[in-house]
Structure 1
Amino acid sequence: MTRLEELVGIRSVTGEESEAVECCRRWLEDAGADEIDRWDVDMATLERDPDYPGREVERDVVPVVAAKLVGDRPGPTVTLTGHVDTVPPGNKWTSDPFIPRRDGDRLYGLGACDMKGGVVVAVESFAAIARRGRDFAGELQIVLVPGEEDGGTGTLAAIRRGWGGDLVIITEPTSRAGSSQIVIAHGGALTFTIEITGRSAHASIAPEGENALDHFWLIHQALKDIEQSINAQETVDLMLALGTPYATNVGKVTGGVWSASVMEHLRAEVRMGVALNETIAAAEERVIREVLAKADADPWLASHPPTVTRTGGAFGSAAISGTHPLVTTLADAAAEVTGQRPANIGVPYGCDMALWQRVGKSTPLVYGPGDIRQAHAPDEWVSLEQVEVVTEVLIRACLDLLQPVMESG
């Protein structure tokens, strides 16, 4: 059984990652890491952190593992990182999502693409460089975390522990048209819960009540107006190429108690985008302000204002320069291995890149095997050839990056 098959075979839905983290710890021990750090962080401690990103899943602890190789001379710190958690499987799978299945070049299983393939790439790259000895400058780290799917608690825990450094490569899936590209910009996302109060009445005299659903349509239009506005303000070409980089989605609506009663309460869970130039706090304030301003123009909602509360995980946005040495060195390595230079791209979804940049003060990018269209999908799969190719690229790129830092002047 390959490492990828072993990891895919371990259930690690968000909140249940300890076994997968322990598996990775054993791999890093076998690889001959100079230092391994395996720890659990109490969730209550993270909740007190000013940069706590929130979460979707209740849990008591956050299990993390990290390791390092120390070169024989001073130099930069390069960190490979990925998350071991997956979303829950849906009910449309045609085979058991927790039993890895090969079919030609594809390995099927929950998390194969997002992102156990990338985790294995990071481990294999780390192990290969460990076998070469310590004839390099600086330090190579690997940080494997839980809790990415619901906000990034694992990465925050690693940063607060002192892991990370100058350069960070996140091995999330970035493939387009069969080859991995380099993500240098991504949007963010926040989840809000909106609650609207109506007034109940018997359905036979419904006009004497106030149906919360009727008032929700005004709020829904406000959300679409916010979406249109934030996308119209975008000026970065990589994000404009996405069409709608900051999408709004009303994912869940509940309300009412009886078909013959006017709906007196409605609750909606909504996903809103965070622009490249926004902090999470600024995006939260913008959404709440604009929704309440729209509500204030409606007589019923003005006197019965909706509540708009940020809930769940928060994903910030991030961007780095396409000419940064991390980007160009990785692109050079990919061109040498594959004969094709990867493109720099932007993506509309959030990931741990924002935490590494905004909280960890590192320079991060995303590059890994798999196509995001396979992530969270039934019968998720990753290309085994792509896993091997990306591993070779990262070995070459890391060795090129682990060079002495030249003093300016």
Structure 2
Amino acid sequence: MTDKLLRAIDDRVDELTALTQDLVRFPTINPPGEAYTPCAEYIGERLKAGGFQVEYVRGEGTPGDNDRYPRTNVVARFEGKRPGKVVHFNSHIDVVEAGEGWTVDPFAGVVKDGRVYGRGTCDMKGGLAASIIAAEVFIAENPDFAGAIEISGTVDEESGGYGGVAYLAGKGYFSAPRVDHVIIPEPLNKDRICLGHRGVWWAEIETKGHIAHGSMPFLGDSAVRHMGALLQAFEDELFPALDKKQTEMPVVPEGARRSTMNINSIHGGQTEDFRPGLPSPTVPDTCRLVIDRRFLLEEDLDAVKSEVTTILDRLKSDRPKFDYTIRDLMEVKPTMTERDAPVVRAVAEGIHAIFDRAPDYVISPGTYDQKHIARIGHIYDCIAYGPGILDLAHQPDEWVGIEDMVQSAKVMALALRRLLAGGEI
């Protein structure tokens, strides 16, 4: 039975390649959210032809949703012959902008040297195509399976997932008893299982000042200088302390196995828009900073925030006229699925069968839609597994290997066999 299943996937290599090309040809660029609806409808029509029940769910009222750029998600479900567990494959259909530096058309789906090139091939339309082929082949070869298979194409993952998985999770699409196991085909390499991700806290800090003429700064109070004092404190105190915090989580790459903080942006003073190239002759009375703090399973979110606010409060006490506000933008706790969870074991057995070795278990340095499935849907039997090399994501000449997609589809089909058909791999 296993050999027949794998041969059936080998027989559909051209179809897998063409499906990936078709998906890439939808320029689902986020922002603003282009071509979401036609891409979702393409996926839905294909799955409907294979016997799936298809539903389109718009993330109404979520960031960026409007009549011109509706946040259109597709959710498809195939019911087995009798009740059982439900496996859900979730892929995001949005991609980042193409950017400069391409040697091929980023939305043509060019096939060359055993690869499909294009924006989103690696992240993650190749994984979506592999999951569709895996599910279709499994259904054809196991017509009497118990349970159900779901496949979703969701939006806005590149901007937080709020119009996609977060919205669907809030509506019960990622909760028991509807779903038991979730596989997200993100590009973490075909022989690795991603168990979760580090935590993230984004915040905006604003320092206050007093406006005055730039020729007489002593009559004002510079918010930018106050922000400079904060940045210096970060350099002297916080960054060295973060470097010392290590985790037992198998985060990749190695440098991410510690706490980190990035200064995302800084804006101070009046804009130069009204006279391009010339500054405004005023003392800046406000300065805003956005921080991106990534934290570890061993850290408490309140303590993470306190490390920053303690510095701010000390500056307010010690530095004349220093005042600030801080606003949370996003907070997500770290997540790590246990290695003995059913979906982990099933995919691990599939990897062993295809590659003749145990998988590597990794944690992502950044978050992806597993965060919403865990925190909103409360489904913890969830992993990321898919073809593609993560380092290629968002790069010019992004590509996914055809053989990588084939092998990943085989792993996914074998995992379905373990989880739904109860057979040995």
After TM superposition, the score normalised by the length of structure 2 is 0.81
Structure 1 distance, partners of 2:86, 2:299, is 28
Tell me which residue corresponds to 1:19: 38
Aligned pair count reads: 386
Gaps of 5+ in 1: 45-54
Taking the aligned partners of 1:77 and 1:288, their CA distance within structure 2 comes to: 43
Question: Which amino acid is the alignment partner of residue 57 of structure 2?
Answer: W
In structure 2, distance between residues paired with 1:115 and 1:294: 45
1:184 aligns with 2:179: no
Structure possessing the higher radius of gyration over alpha carbons: 2
Which residue is 1:88 aligned to?
97
**Contact 1:219–1:294 (CA under 8 A) maintained in structure 2:** no
Aligned to 1:386: 404
CA distance in 2, matches of 1:79, 1:41: 19
* SS of structure 2 residue aligned to 1:361: coil
| Matched residue, 1:244 | 256
Change (3 A) 1:197 1:110: same
**CA separation of 1:102 and 1:68: change in aligned 2, threshold 3 A:** same
CA RMSD in angstroms comes to 2.8
Question: 1:292 — aligned with what?
Answer: 312
2:293 is matched with which residue: 251, 272, 286?
272
Shift of 1:360: 1.4
Change (3 A) 1:277 1:355: farther
- What per-residue deviation string (whole Å, max 9, x for no partner) do you get for residues 360-401 of structure 1? 122101111112211122222222211111011101111111
Do residues 2 (structure 1) and 18 (structure 2) align? Answer: yes
For the Cα contact (< 8 Å) 1:7–1:116, is it kept in 2?
A: yes
Between the aligned partners of 2:112 and 2:42, the Cα distance in structure 1 is 25
**C-alpha spacing 1:275/1:58, structure 2 compared with 1 (3 Å):** farther
| Distance (whole Å) between structure 1 residues aligned to residue 137 and residue 234 of structure 2 | 49
- Does 2:394 correspond to 1:376? yes
8 Å contact kept, 2:157–2:368: yes
2:184 paired with 1:170: yes
Please tell me whether the aligned partners of residues 157 and 369 of structure 2 are also in contact (alpha carbons under 8 angstroms). yes
Deviations 1:103-144 (A, max 9, x none): 212222111111111111222222222323532222211122
CA contact (8 A) 2:198 2:297 kept: yes
Q: How does 1:78-157 map to 2 (within 5 A)?
A: 78-153=87-162, 154-157=164-167
Q: Distance in 2 between matches of 1:6 and 1:279?
A: 44
Q: Secondary structure of 2:99's partner?
A: coil
Question: For residues 112 and 283 of structure 1, do their structure 2 counterparts lie closer, same or farther at Cα, with a shift above 3 Å needed?
Answer: farther
Secondary structure of 1:168's partner?
Answer: strand
CA distance, structure 1, for counterparts of residue 339 and residue 87 of structure 2: 18
Q: Distance in 2 between matches of 1:314 and 1:92?
A: 34
* Alignment-derived partner of residue 76 in structure 1: 85
- Does the C-alpha gap of structure 1 residues 43 and 389 become closer, same or farther in structure 2, counting only changes over 3 Å? same
Q: Is the aligned partner of 1:358 residue 2:404?
A: no
Report the TM-score when normalising by structure 1.
0.84
Partners of 1:291 and 1:379 in 2: CA distance: 43
Cross-structure match for 1:51: none
Alpha-carbon distance, 1:150 to partner: 1.3
Among the aligned pairs, what percent are the same residue?
27
Provide the rounded CA distance (Å) in 2 between the counterparts of 1:190 and 1:7. 33
Provide structure 2 residue ranges, at least 5 long, that are not aligned to the other structure. Answer: 1-16, 271-278
SS of the residue 1:86 aligns to: coil
Tell me how far apart the structure 2 counterparts of residues 376 and 226 of structure 1 sit (CA, whole Å): 30
**Change beyond 3 A, Cα 1:217–1:58:** farther
